[in-house]
Amino acid sequence: MKNELKVALAQIAPVWLNKEKTIKKIEINIKEAALNKAELVVFGEALLPGYPFWLAFTEGAKWDLKVNKEIHAHYVRNAIQVEANELDSICMLAKENKIAVYLGIMERAKDRGGHSIYCSLVYINEEGEIKSVHRKLQPTYDERLTWAPGDGNGLKVHALKQFTVGGLNCWENWMPLPRTALYGLGENLHIAVWPGSDYNTKDITRFIARESRSFVISVSSLMKKENFPTDTPHLSKILEQAPGVMANGGSCIAGPDGEWLVEPVIDKEGLIYHTLDFNRVYEERQNFDVVGHYSRPDVTKLTINRERQSTVEFKD
């Protein structure tokens, strides 16, 4: 098996809070990535259908505010229910083009009642099968006003050629224990997805790479004032306080030595390509392997609960 894996980083803006149109844009980028011989394409955090930028501009923490209730309802209506086969067209494209996909979605989880939404990272393999749906463990700051906290069920890795790939959402990447869970499963290609900012990606991407001696791909989205659709509820109120640029990208790749392979790309929409050489993982693990020869499980050990959490359990 060849050592090399060609990857594509899809640094794009969503058709904000419009799941049908955003899916179409995702499909276009999958097709283009496949046409350019990519074997894995990665999209940013919550890209489908978009990040909740309004919370910072509409008194998001104000109790019982009608504006926030109405925008939230619009958000939930445009979230994805995986069980309802809303990702089928994307899965089909992955299978047809033999390309794996990591995709950040807002998930309206049926197994939690179908009304709360989770920031989820979905892995679709090259056979078009959904192999994991990782719900973000801890929403960050104002995200907690619209996203529910997830669980450990999606802390999984997947074989992709010689690589073992896993991923986390945004500030989860700063959490040492979830990272360690993936390392312990053999991860050597780490996917970090973000709403979009080089402020987030410029340090942690290289740090994780150096800590784990793995390749790290950070993928961010873009968002400017003009990306808000005209049918967005309370658009004028959102735009009143919104800056010109809310997400400037910052997608990048670090190698297993912690050095840049692709430095953060700013304010540029499109696909970013790079070919990874698996042998670099073995080279860098020679002197440090965080869960292998440089670990002491007799002294420190991590326990993971991967049970999918639910409020009710039925025994018929």
Catalytic residue among 19, 136, 156, 161, which? 136
Catalytic (active site) residue 136:
yes
170, 172, 211, 252: the active-site residue = 170
45 flagged as catalytic: yes
- 3-class DSSP string for the chain: CCCEEEEEEEECCCCCCCHHHHHHHHHHHHHHHHHCCCCEEEECCCCECCCCHHHHCCCCCCCCCHHHHHHHHHHHHCCECHHHCCCHHHHHHHHHHCCEEEEEEEEECHHHCCCCEEEEEEEECCCCCEEEEEECCCCCHHHHHCCCCCCHHHCCCEEECCEEEEEEEHHHHHCHHHHHHHHHCCCCEEEEEECCCHHHHHHHHHHHHHHHCCEEEEEECEEEHHHCCCCCCCHHHHHHHCCCEEEEEEEEEECCCCCEEEEEEECCCEEEEEEEECHHHHHHHCCCCCCCCCCCCCCCCCCCCCCCCCCCCCCC
Catalytic residue among 45, 143, 211, 284: 45
Assess whether 170 carries a catalytic annotation: yes
Residues classed as catalytic: 45, 136, 170
